[in-house]
Amino acid sequence: MSRKSRKYSPELRAEVVKAVLETGATPAKVARDFGLVPETVRTWVRREKERLRGNTPDAREAHDRARIAELERRVRELEDDNAFLEGYSKVFPQVGGWIMTVKILPMPEGRSTRASGCQRGKIKSTP
């Protein structure tokens, strides 16, 4: 023998859930006060808590869509960076996989152009 499920108005559901959440009473006590089945009240309260936490299927789906959009934006950004670096590597010479940079600085006053410590192309070792 199957039981016929009862339909409750949204107003009654909201009032019962409010009574549980605001007063801190147990779902069983509130169910007795309203003449309801305790498991029904527990289910309503659980669903309302999930809704408030944003843990509903719609909220998870919205979160997933936002995360996918962020990841797609990041992929586009990285693809742009890679395209730039590929073009950059074709323009500038590379040595052993590293881009070689040479910066020539003027010599300070009173210094010779010869590197200190060098004689005939050999570097003196200093202890």
Cα–Cα distance between 7 and 28 in angstroms, integer? Answer: 19
Given a cut of 70, whether residue 11 has pLDDT beyond it is: yes
Q: What is the pLDDT, as a whole number, of residue 104? A: 66
Residue bearing the bigger pLDDT, 69 or 125: 69
pLDDT in tens, 62-119: 888 999 999 999 999 999 988 888 877 777 655 555 555 666 666 667 665 555 544 4
Given a cut of 60, whether residue 18 has pLDDT beyond it is: yes
Phi and psi, residue 24, nearest 5° = 80, 10
Given a cut of 50, whether residue 25 has pLDDT beyond it is: yes
